């Protein structure tokens, strides 16, 4: 659906403090502290449909398994969800957790969301929520059963109006350039941290510096000419000085963890520019890729917790493959969780990215300009959220399945289209567990073209 047909709406409701009715949830003991908070935000709407995001915060004792209840009062219904299943999907809705987000620790939160249908005349936000039967109104229950604070509810509704671009779900005036996304999970990604830096100017010196698991900060200076793949060990930060280039070869992050690769120009590689396999906690940021043989950034073989941000790919065909084979489900299911944000796919052809098995894979605030074959493909039961991107002169923006690979799931929201159609969607996608700020899609082209690629940051 083209952006010009959408309507702008922002509905936010926050429910705070909580009391528990006796006997509602038999699994909770009389002494257990219970309480919850729910934030509901409807970010955009169009004729017949809308999108909403839900954040559940557990204020009481840890829970394992949740049911979130609310009432639609104007005939709305959940049509596509991520992070839960809804049964029933209309009226008095009951949303049940997905397998990966069943546990919510004390003061922990989980995110979920859905696409819904509405009658185009009224779309009121739910006025209250229950979590496992507990009314979410904001603090834990006191020892005598009374709420420790008085219930408070706030709701704001912005006027609904026509918009030529999908509205933002809330973003900063300047895009985020620090570490965001999946690489913040699993303990986070710090690379070599505060270790002293070593400057290298040759392939042999770079190979030596990247070996082993000791923490190291490695600065690349000038052009390093090489062939094949150079192995990267754990706990490494690899930074390019101004103009630093790796020509003819690539970096192989294999069976490693906690790796950062930033501010490098890759050109003419004879295999992959960056290959990530059997590795976790990897951040690939502000690099440029052009004129290579195979993948610019390929991530495969059970790799996990990876962020690919602010990179530019141009004069290249096969760009970013996630999951290398249809028959590798045994290793890949439950892994391959990657965030792609603020990347510039500059006249590229395919795999921007192509995804197998990973769920959720988050593709947000990227700029697709004059892309040839296709933008995003979700295959082999993957779950991909395509959010807040700018598609220009791209005939096939996103779709399900690719080649002989079966379809995955894909949810799209808040994207901006110029001479490009909305793509194919279907299924549900797991919720995003980390916080992020979504930039307005219509402004993504300007911010990404001015900020993506090597040489755009100080290191």
**CA nearest neighbour of 86 among 113, 123, 62, 46:** 113
Query: Of 227, 343, 232, whose CA–CA distance to 279 is shortest?
Result: 232
Instruction: Return all residues near 214 (Cβ < 8 A) that are at least 6 apart.
Output: 195, 233, 235
Question: Quick check: 354 and 378 in contact, CB under 8 A?
Answer: no
Q: In a 10 Å sphere around its CB, with 0-12 CB exposed, 13-18 middle and 19+ buried, how is residue 305 labelled?
A: buried
For residue 378, CA distances in Å to 278, 355, 397, 407 come to 21, 5, 12, 6
Of 8, 312, 337, 351, the active-site residue reads: 351
Sequence-distant (6+) residues with CB within 8 A of 356 are 322, 323, 324, 325, 326, 328, 332, 336, 379, 380, 382, 405, 408
Active site residue 67: no
d(CA 341, CA 7): 25
**Structure tokens belonging to residue 99:** 């397998």
Which strands sit side by side in the sheet containing 134-135, from one edge to the other?
84-86, 92-97, 67-71, 130-131, 134-135
Contact 266, 298 (CB under 8 A): no
Which residues are known to be catalytic?
Answer: 351
């Amino acid at each position: 659906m083209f952006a010009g047909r959408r309507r702008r709406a922002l509905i936010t409701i926050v429910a705070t403090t909580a009391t528990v009715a006796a006997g509602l949830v038999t699994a909770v003991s009389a002494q257990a502290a219970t309480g919850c908070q729910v934030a509901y935000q409807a970010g955009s709407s169009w004729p017949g449909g809308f999108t909403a995001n839900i954040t559940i915060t557990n204020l009481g004792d840890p829970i394992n398994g949740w049911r979130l209840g609310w009432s639609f009062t104007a005939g709305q219904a959940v049509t596509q969800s991520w992070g839960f299943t809804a049964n029933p999907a209309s009226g008095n809705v009951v949303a049940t957790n997905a397998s990966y987000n069943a546990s919510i620790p004390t003061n922990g939160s989980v995110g979920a969301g859905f696409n819904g249908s509405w009658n185009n005349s009224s779309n009121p936000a739910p006025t209250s929520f229950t979590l496992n039967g507990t009314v979410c109104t904001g603090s834990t229950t006191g020892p005598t059963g009374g709420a420790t604070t008085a219930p408070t509810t706030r709701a704001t509704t912005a006027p609904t109006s026509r918009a030529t671009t999908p509205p933002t779900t809330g973003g900063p005036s300047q895009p985020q350039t620090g570490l965001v996304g999946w690489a913040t999970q699993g303990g986070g990604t710090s690379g070599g941290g505060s270790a002293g830096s070593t400057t290298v100017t040759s392939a042999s010196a770079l190979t030596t510096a990247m070996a082993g698991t000791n923490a190291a900060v490695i600065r690349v200076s000038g052009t390093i000419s090489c062939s094949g793949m150079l192995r990267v060990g754990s706990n490494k930060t690899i930074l390019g000085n101004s103009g630093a280039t790796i020509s003819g070869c690539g970096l192989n992050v294999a069976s490693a963890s906690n790796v950062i690769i930033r501010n490098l120009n890759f050109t003419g590689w004879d295999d992959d520019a960056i290959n990530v396999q059997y590795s976790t906690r990897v951040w690939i940021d502000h690099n440029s890729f052009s004129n290579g043989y195979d993948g610019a950034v390929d991530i495969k073989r059970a790799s996990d917790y990876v962020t690919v941000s602010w990179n530019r790919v141009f004069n290249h065909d096969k760009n970013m493959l996630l999951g290398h084979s249809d028959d590798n489900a045994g290793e890949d299911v439950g892994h391959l969780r990657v965030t792609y944000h603020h990347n510039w796919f500059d006249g590229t052809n395919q795999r921007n990215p192509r995804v197998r098995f990973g769920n959720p894979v988050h593709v947000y605030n990227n700029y697709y300009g004059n892309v040839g074959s296709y933008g995003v493909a979700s295959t082999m039961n993957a779950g991909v959220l395509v959010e807040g991107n700018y598609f220009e002169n791209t005939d096939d923006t996103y779709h399900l399945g690719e080649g002989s690979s079966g379809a995955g799931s894909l949810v799209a929201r808040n994207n901006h289209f110029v001479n490009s159609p909305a793509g194919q969607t279907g299924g549900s996608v797991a919720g995003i567990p980390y916080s992020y700020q979504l930039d307005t899609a219509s402004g993504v082209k300007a911010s990404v073209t001015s900020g993506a690629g090597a040489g755009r940051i100080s290191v």
